[in-house]
Structure 1
Amino acid sequence: MFVNNYCLPMNCIVAPLNGCGGIYLGNVDAAQDSQLLNQHKIGAVLQILDQSVPVQGAQKLWIMAEDSEDFPLHKYFDQSIRFIENQSKKTNVLIHCYAGISRSAAIVAAYMMQKYNWSVNQTMLHIQSKRRIVSPNSGFMKQLKDFERKLSNQDQQLSLNSFKLDRSNYRPSSALSNYNKISTPAKSNFDKINIPSTKSSSRLDDFSSKLDQFRHLLRVKQKAY
């Protein structure tokens, strides 16, 4: 049977797995309905309200926030995301404001954008498909767009740092190193060969010439006798 989710005090935005990790978005009535919390095994509640309300049987974090376009909700994105992430590892989490339309929806959107690396538009389409009354005010939407740019810049910086790290770790391959070793010419041993100097060669020529003259005179004398 079709149930109009306009009428539900809360809706499941991210389905739980093995009894934990579920993310629910709802109103103040859902947070104070202990039977509903037990039914969905919700052990943690994040309140985005100007005044805190009591919650039974669940870990609670209260973020004092007004549903105003000028309210700097982005200052609480990191704190809220850490709470949701830590609690979702062991239980299901409800994020709520008064009506479950603006403040709490913006916090859920910020969480999903960071966790799943989604754009604002992609995130809001998903959340509104689960809870159709969701409509963060224009100020919160602007803050979410700024948050999207911040996340994008962080991703680009991480990619750049990874590229620099890869370059700093570059080393020539062992095959190339071996090739360089083999291709290096061996040192020549020619410098070890003793080549006569010009002066030594000239003296040897003079001696040979005088020896030839002596032999010639000796042959002449032998013929005379």
Structure 2
Amino acid sequence: MFVNNYCLSMNCIVAPLNGCGGIYLGNVDAAQDSQLLNQYKIGAVLQILDQSVPVKGAQKLWIMAEDSEDFPLYKYFDQSIRFIENQSKKTNVLIHCYAGISRSAAIVAAYMMQKYNWSVNQTILHLQSKRRIVSPNSGFMKQLKDFERKLSNQDQQLSLNSFKLDMSNYRPSSAMSNYNSISTTAMGNYNKINTLSTKSSSRLDDFSSKLDQFRHQLRVRQKAY
């Protein structure tokens, strides 16, 4: 029964890996088959139906939803994503509606779009590669596209906030202070060198003047003799 993507009971969308639970998409029969749930170690069930149905041996969250193009399924995206994310940390999770085609598929799509940063088209193609009958109604597809834009805007805002944080750590006044300190030190050293040079030049001029006076006195004495 549960061997390929033509199966109408349930299919594995994300396989269990490294201690994280797998994500399964299926129909109401799968949710009520306790033997199947036990076989695939499914300990949590997210039910997207217009009426609740009993589930044995697993924690259940029921979201009342109709398979109608006008139904605002997007209002339950965040709640559903939190449930799937939290439960998948400890067990496998089944998301189902009546047939596992539209309502539950749209919820799984929203979850994967947020978790993996996938586009609507990329996500639906992946779901269909695992469960060929996946086909959210046109209203749900529009809501998923709106959700895609929302996620994109959030990513842009996060990038902007990250840039602002980086800029807040930049201290131009500190950099200028360091520059001024280095510049002042360099100028001080230059002035010291210039002072020493001036003193040396003054001493040389003084010596030359005294030497000229000595030579003059020597010539005067030679003429006297």
TM-score (norm 1): 0.78
The CA RMSD over aligned residues, in Å, is 6.5
Structure 1 pair 203–90 and aligned structure 2 pair: CA distance change class (3 A): closer
CA distance, structure 2, for counterparts of residue 20 and residue 202 of structure 1: 85
Structure 1: give runs of 5+ residues left out of the alignment.
none
Change (3 A) 1:10 1:165: same
1:97-141 CA-partner distances (Å, limit 9, x unpaired): 000000000000000000001000110111100000000000000
In the TM superposition, what whole-angstrom CA distance separates every residue of 1:201-220 from its partner, at most 9, and x where no partner exists? Answer: 99999999999999999999
The superposition leaves residues 68-125 of structure 1 with CA deviations (integer Å, 9 ceiling, x where unpaired) of 0000000000000000000000000000000000000000000000000100011011
Percent identical:
92
Shift of residue 181, structure 1, vs aligned partner: 1.3
Secondary structure, aligned partner of 1:63: strand
Alpha-carbon separation, structure 2, partners of 1:141 and 1:17: 29
**Contact conserved, 1:96 with 1:104, CA < 8 A, in 2?**
yes
Give the unaligned 5+ runs of structure 2. none
How many pairs were matched up? 225
Call closer, same or farther: CA 1:199–1:31 in 2, change over 3 Å: closer
Contact 2:2/2:9 (CA < 8 Å) preserved in 1? Answer: no
Seen in structure 2, the aligned counterparts of structure 1 residues 19 and 8 have a Cα distance that, compared at 3 Å, is farther
1:1-33 per-position Cα deviation (integer Å, ceiling 9, x unaligned): 995532340000000024542000000000000
Which structure's CA Rg is the greater one?
A: 1
Larger helix fraction of residues: 2
Contact 2:5 2:129 in 1 (8 A): no
Q: Per the alignment, do residues 222 and 162 of structure 1 end up closer, same or farther by CA in structure 2, a change over 3 Å counting?
A: closer
TM-score computed with the length of structure 2 as normaliser: 0.78
- Given that 1:97 and 1:103 are in contact with CA atoms closer than 8 Å, whether structure 2 keeps it comes out as yes
